[in-house]
Chains A and B, each alone.
Chain A
């Protein structure tokens, strides 16, 4: 079993839809949680960062961390074609080394 599980998709939604991306993990020591967006042939871009549990909102993006369930989510409201990318969850127990999910490929159709 992988430490971090993420549905690879692909996920296709119409423009304006609410997108829900999720990751589960097994290591209860994880306390730093990130979501990255990666466009084709580009490096990952940090979208959301959460320490420990709770919700965080930034514009159309909301990140949720439920440590009791070992489950993190990223919600994208009013999705746009420009949101089409691969979304990677990543987490760490400290020390800097990140454990990544497999990435979910998202396509938002106009």
Chain B
């Protein structure tokens, strides 16, 4: 299957600082990437849809000024958590959409980034 990388895999930061997470599609071009958040023992919660060259679309309840998303190329999307607070501590996962039209429309996920805000 396709490979999606995320960096960093884990990060600890102080409250009030900003953290950037990178998501790269290594072996295919993804016009659309997605950012998820996952709490322990729960399923994935979609935060936003990132489209190359345009503004991200945020799900209801997700603060777009707090979670800045940039999809500058067909292989890279970034999520910046601004002015992080302890409640932002979570597991953040990105995915890249593999869509060739017709019968193929799926997502490949990155390994995730564990964010801890002190």
Hey, which bits of chain A sit against chain B, CB under 8 A?
32, 34, 36, 41-46, 49, 51-52, 88, 90, 92, 94, 96-98, 100-103
A67, B10: Cα distance in complex, Å: 40
Chain B residues near A96 (CB, 8 Å)? Answer: 32, 34, 49, 97, 99, 105, 107
**Overall SS of chain B's interface:** strand
Give the B interface residue count (CB, 8 A).
26
CB distance from A43 to the nearest CB of B (A): 4
Highest count of chain A CB atoms <10 Å: which of B43, B110, B111, B112: B43
Within B87-118, which residues are at the interface with A (CB < 8 Å)? Answer: 91, 93, 95, 97, 99, 103-112, 114
Hey, which bits of chain B sit against chain A, CB under 8 A?
1, 4, 6, 32, 34, 42-44, 46, 49, 91, 93, 95, 97, 99, 103-112, 114
